[in-house]
Copies of this chain bind each other. A is one copy, B any other.
């Protein structure tokens, strides 16, 4: 087994082999039969058709229950360590589609505690970032009557008893093996997975009866939910079902958009000029000269610009295939392709930024238990 890539909730390095990762983690492919089954509920989302959300755990069982009238809830989250970028938004957009398609409630956990423990940030930093990130989440249009945002340090009284139960069932050995911890890991980090597990079981605790949970998120989060699923039956909780997506690519050609490379990362608050500049510098599959490209064509498989269309900015399958063909045949040059992507991203961001301002009015109502947000400048 090749070890040239690493995927944990806190570190993604190397060229990820998503098939191999699925094998390593022991998750199940989202195959044609499952897509067929999902199509009964409406148009299947492009992220499913294109294999971006590509792997799952127990989704069939969840749908079996749903079809018998057992409503589930959605749970996903965000570690607030900086501004929101497109890579964060991608799975949220998918969650929104699931909420709309199944009409289900949603819990969104913001792990200000986690980012404090794992990064060089204060709790004040991570709480303020949580507010900024929450605006992006809310701007996507989640049903305000069915969606609640959990902020760990604010909602800890609800989470802690569940986290204690989880933590009592997880040994340091397990945490070491699953997350790659060692003796130098701080004891807050060691405990943290218990807190991330808690929202998956919160509606069950509140209802006093098992409420099934579906967690659509990045495959890098699987270690947390492997642990959560292992301990669930012993605690009388349902095992959460999972849907996993691939990492949103960076503009530099890397496998994951990351805040550590600001120039290869498009933030939700970026203006048109910044977007133009970042896309202009993107890694492409083009040739060194126009002549060569007209003759030999480009390679969309390795092109960051093409991936942006594929992941988020071209929903029409025939058009995305056409774009790939035109690239390979040398009909379209990188400059044109980048200009069009820039336009699309800027249109998206213009609309998003307006909704993000509107979100300020309702983000307070969506706070779980009615906590008060900590905003910048307060």
Contacts and interface: CB of A to CB of B under 8 A. Distances in A.
Interface residues of A, number: 35
Interface stretch (A183-191, A215-223, A261-269, A289-297): A183-191
A153 interface: yes
A188 B194 contact: yes
A162 B176 CA distance: 25
Interface string A144-184: 00000000011011001101110111111101100001111
B156 A184 contact: no
Given A157-B156, A160-B153, A160-B160, A171 B184 contact: yes
Contacts of A184: 171-173
A123 B164 contact: yes
A57 B377 CA distance: 41
Given A156-B160, A187-B190, A117 B172 contact: no
A86 to B, nearest CB: 30
Contacts of A188: 163-164, 167-168, 170, 191, 194
Contacts of A185: 171-172
B187 A113 contact: no
Contact of A161 (B123, B161, B163, B175): B123
A17 to B, nearest CB: 30
A193 interface: yes
A137 interface: no
10 contacts: A123-B165, A153-B160, A164-B188, A167-B191, A168-B188, A171-B185, A171-B187, A172-B181, A172-B187, A187-B190
